[in-house]
Structure 1
Amino acid sequence: MSERKLSLPDWVVMGRIGTPFGVKGWVRVHTYSEALDSLSHYAEWGLGKEGQYQRYALVDWQIQGGGLVAALAGVTDRTQAEFLRGLEVVIPRSELPALEPDEFYWSDLVGMSVRNEAGEALGTVGELLETGAHPVLVVRAGEVERLIPFVAPVLQEVRLAEGVIRVDWGLDY
């Protein structure tokens, strides 16, 4: 476990640590990928926030109650697991599968500008939420927060190179 500032986009946020699972240091993991076991393919995870991550070796994992639970090296009791709650799980971009031309990782969208079809700025993507029905963009502009469905026909275009997401959404929605 070494702590250092890691440079995004060298790392991709792939999930978040949830509540402890049991008394032996296991944690629930909320994955941001389609497959619940996707994080189990990586021997080492970075855990932290805002670019400050510690590396943890994945010791064991299982699918439990419709979600992923994991044991990490050095986390041996429930109290230690509780301290990890809410931390991002990051994986080196170099270890992830190659993307198709129209694909992207959710973490690549954070910080992008969101504009509607009239060219009006709606704000900046703060995060994405998985609601069960479909993902939702959390877009912030000062004190205003908009929850915009990240699904067609609302989503019109994602232009990664330009840092812009175009949506069919009004300023007054």
Structure 2
Amino acid sequence: MAQFEGLDNRELAHALKGQTVSVSRAAFPKADEDEFYWVDLIGCRFFGEQDGQSVCVGEVVEVLDNSAQSILVVHRGSWSAEGVFTPEKDEQGRPLEELVPFVQAIVHSVDLPARELHSHWSV
């Protein structure tokens, strides 16, 4: 929920229904140590575990809210040496997805400067 200066009644606010609202990153309050803005997670490499080893699963492309917790939408795939991500696709050409609960029991490390999330997610 948000309240905008100058929009102090329901009729004025209703006129903006369905519109996109943009906010400068400079206006974001600083997140607490264990909190993250969803926009910062999108584009991060997501690592899971296979045979006790950390392996890159893919890229976080979206974050969803299911009321109980946030869900990371991860497209499975790989990166080229130039840093270009190529998603794996199904028979219909759609990216293969993993839906990963964004909870500390699963995602144990978020390194935003490195653009990496490390997890116990089984690959």
Same fold (TM over 0.5): yes
Aligned to 2:25: 93
Structure 2 residue runs of 5 or longer lacking an equivalent are 77-86, 88-94
Q: CA deviation at 1:103?
A: 3.2
CA distance in 2, matches of 1:109, 1:130: 14
CA distance in 1, matches of 2:39, 2:102: 14
Moved beyond 2 Å, runs of 4+? 58-62, 98-104
CA distance in 2, matches of 1:122, 1:61: 47
Letter in 2 for 1:95: A
Q: CA deviation at 1:91?
A: 1.0
Q: CA deviation at 1:59?
A: 2.5
Of Structure 1 and Structure 2, which has the larger fraction of its residues in strand? Answer: 1
Letter in 2 for 1:59: L
- Normalising by structure 1, report the TM-score: 0.51
Aligned to 1:50: none
Aligned to 1:127: 62
Q: CA deviation at 1:140?
A: 0.6
Structure 1 residue runs of 5 or longer lacking an equivalent are 1-35, 44-57, 63-69
Q: CA deviation at 1:120?
A: 1.1
Q: How many residues align?
A: 103
CA distance in 2, matches of 1:101, 1:153: 17
- Mark the CA change 1:144 to 1:96 in structure 2 (over 3 Å): closer, same or farther: same
Q: CA RMSD in A?
A: 2.6
Q: CA deviation at 1:106?
A: 1.0
Aligned to 2:92: none
- Normalising by structure 2, report the TM-score: 0.69
- Mark the CA change 1:90 to 1:169 in structure 2 (over 3 Å): closer, same or farther: same
- Mark the CA change 1:61 to 1:128 in structure 2 (over 3 Å): closer, same or farther: farther
Q: CA deviation at 1:155?
A: 1.1
CA distance in 1, matches of 2:9, 2:106: 37
The percentage of aligned residue pairs carrying the same residue is 29
Letter in 2 for 1:71: A
Aligned to 1:152: 104
Q: CA deviation at 1:61?
A: 6.2
Q: CA deviation at 1:98?
A: 2.3
